[in-house]
A and B are shown apart, each in its own frame.
Chain A
Amino acid sequence: MSALAKPLSTPPSPAPQSEWNVEAVRVDFPILSTRVYNRPLIYFDNAATTQKPLVVVDAISNYYLYGNANIHRGVHYLSEKATDAFETVRHQVQTFIGARSANEIVFVRGATEGLNLLAATLGRTRVKSGDEILISIMEHHSNIVPWQLLCEQTGARLVVIPMHANGELDQAAFEKLLTPRTRILALTHVSNSIGSINPVKHMIQLAHRQNTVVILDAAQSVAHMPIDVQDLDCDFMVLSGHKLYGPTGIGMLYGKGSLLDSLPPYQSGGDMISSVRIEKSTFHKAPQKFEAGTPHIAGVLGLGAALDYLTRLGMAAIATYENSLLAYATQVLTGIPHLRIIGQAREKSGIISFTIDDVHPHDIGTILDRSGIAIRAGHHCTMPLWESLGIVATARVSLGLYNTPGEIDHLAETLNGVRKVMGL
């Protein structure tokens, strides 16, 4: 442990000691052995995107090198193999999130596209003037703007669940805001900005009493804790592959079978139709109904490799390790003079947003960067959240399964010197 992480109000607890073999895990990620500005890379920007293990990159390159063919249409060997591999990943996703059927899994570009798909299709069929759509103040812009646009189009009203100063949603306010007019509740599982884990299971139960359709944004949670959609009972859920150690450009939309089937198509074209006549076309059932055009096959295969990888490590073990890292990082950062952690929910995932007195987060980001430490500085695509707290921007450290206590010590050491660099 670095002696430079002092002064601390209390001595840090011992670094996380568990059966988690972080050094073995790190070997799986070639990028972690690279250097930036001639310093070892320390990657704390996992909420923006996670790094990729070699198995993911191999799955993508093997497909292009040895397995490339289009799916769902060929009668030849390669096409059948590619179709099999592609559909196997759908079953993997089903198992990973605990869905009833693989037909409940739609491949999309990412959580953003999943939410846009739902705003467009649910919007067309279930939302009318006077209805209400309920979101929370801590949503990512991707779970705000599609609903804003839908409200403009339909005359529905966007209603927002406020937050307590500690970063927990105001449950009493939520219960008041939930009414028979609430058509949709679109809610994040974990805040990408301050790490709060929302009590979504309970909130979903309450919403269902009002016949409200619940959409869960799990982009920030799924790589860091076990998730079971049947246990949570959400109606829809969206994910991004690149935040769970998979490739960019691929994500998933989960929907309960009957609900998915009731939705109209989103994009249309090849692969989603059963027959096309000039007078009228008929469509496949879900999930194919929502997968127009040749999909990101390589991305799906890379995603499958990422899910394999996470399953092998075990989501419960990952959560345990990351929780111990979060506790350690919180303790170390709390001891740094002039540093203030924003968001202290009782249930938190591995995200720490903070400010340092008289230093702008962008300057913190630049100083850390030159020490080889990658963090995010800014509004993290949650501007309404910061406005509600009266803050313009924060610096954000977000943890992943390959981060180490030693990296946190180095972070603390550098943060201790930030005010000096700024002449304070």
Chain B
Amino acid sequence: MNELRELYQEMILDHNKQPRNFYALPGATHVLEGYNPLCGDKLKLYLQVENGSVRDISFEGSGCAISKASASMMTDAIKGQSVEAALALFEQFHAMLSGKADAAPESLGKLKVFSGVNEFPARVKCATLAWHTLKSGLVGAHGSVTTEDEG
């Protein structure tokens, strides 16, 4: 059961119970939908992008603990960041979860609590749903994304 503790760390459980930035953002410049057809989980991401920065960010939706906590912690990490920095963070997060990075870089900060998800292949998409949705918004692709778009 130790792997379960690795997966469901305190911080993840906390964000699952009390997700941060969990509301519809008035004045959003981008509204995006993420969808995981495997489990039917849906996520709505609100971005307020101004002058190349994510001035504000929020989300709504239902999902498992991993997807909800990941979305919540992502909004905390992204708020106030430049679009470039946000996309760089996406790459680092994605590399950590797909096992491509040897070790999670320090720059991921608190997001390193998701490194344990690597051991649960069926759950990787739960952790990356919000991030894929974010990326699609930042690179300008509007509309709906699904976790099936990327291998």
Q: Which of B115-140 contact A (CB under 8 A)?
A: 120, 122-123, 126
A423 at the interface (CB under 8 A from B): yes
Instruction: Output the least CB separation between A193 and chain B (Å).
Output: 12
How far, in angstroms, from A226 to B40 measured CA to CA in the complex?
A: 34
B4 touches A367 (CB 8 A): yes
B40-A360 in contact (CB<8A): no
Does A266 interact with chain B (Cβ within 8 Å)?
A: no
Q: Contact partner of B64 among A360, A386, A423, CB < 8 A? A: A360
Interface check A366, CB cutoff 8 A: yes
B91 within 8 A of A: no
Residue numbers in B under 8 Å from A362 (CB-CB): 39, 41, 64, 66, 123, 126
Min C-beta distance of B12 to chain A, whole Å: 9
Report the interface size class on chain A: 20 to 34
Main secondary structure of the interface of B (DSSP, over half): helix
Contact of A423 among B1, B14, B62 (CB under 8 A): B14
Contacts of A358 in B (CB 8 A): 17
Of the four ranges (under 10, 10 to 19, 20 to 34, 35 or more), the interface on chain B belongs to 20 to 34
Most buried by B among A362, A386, A423: A362
The residues in B between 22 and 51 inclusive whose CB is less than 8 angstroms from any CB of A are: 38-42
Please tell me if the beta carbons of A392 and B62 are within 8 angstroms of each other in the complex: yes
Which chain A residue shows the least CB distance to B4? A370
Is the pair B65, A386 in contact by a Cβ cutoff of 8 Å?
Answer: no
Would you call B17 and A379 a contact (CB within 8 A)? no
State which residues 355-406 of A face B: CB under 8 Å: 358-363, 366-367, 370-371, 377-379, 383, 386, 392-393
Q: Hey, which chain B residues are within 8 Å of A378, CB to CB?
A: 38-40
Task: Indicate whether B10 reaches chain A with its CB closer than 8 angstroms.
Answer: yes
CB-contacts of A321-368 with B (<8 A): 358-363, 366-367
A75 an interface residue at 8 Å Cβ cutoff?
Answer: no
- Specify the chain A residue showing the minimal Cβ separation from B13: A423
Contact A366 B39 (CB under 8 A): no
Contact A393 B4 (CB under 8 A): no
Asked if B84 CB lies within 8 Å of chain A CBs, one says: no
Min CB distance A239 to B, Å, is 26
B7 sits at the interface (CB 8 A): yes
Flag if A392 contacts B41 (CB, 8 Å). Answer: yes
Q: A422-B16, A423-B8, A423-B10 are in contact. Are A363 and B40 (CB under 8 A)?
A: no
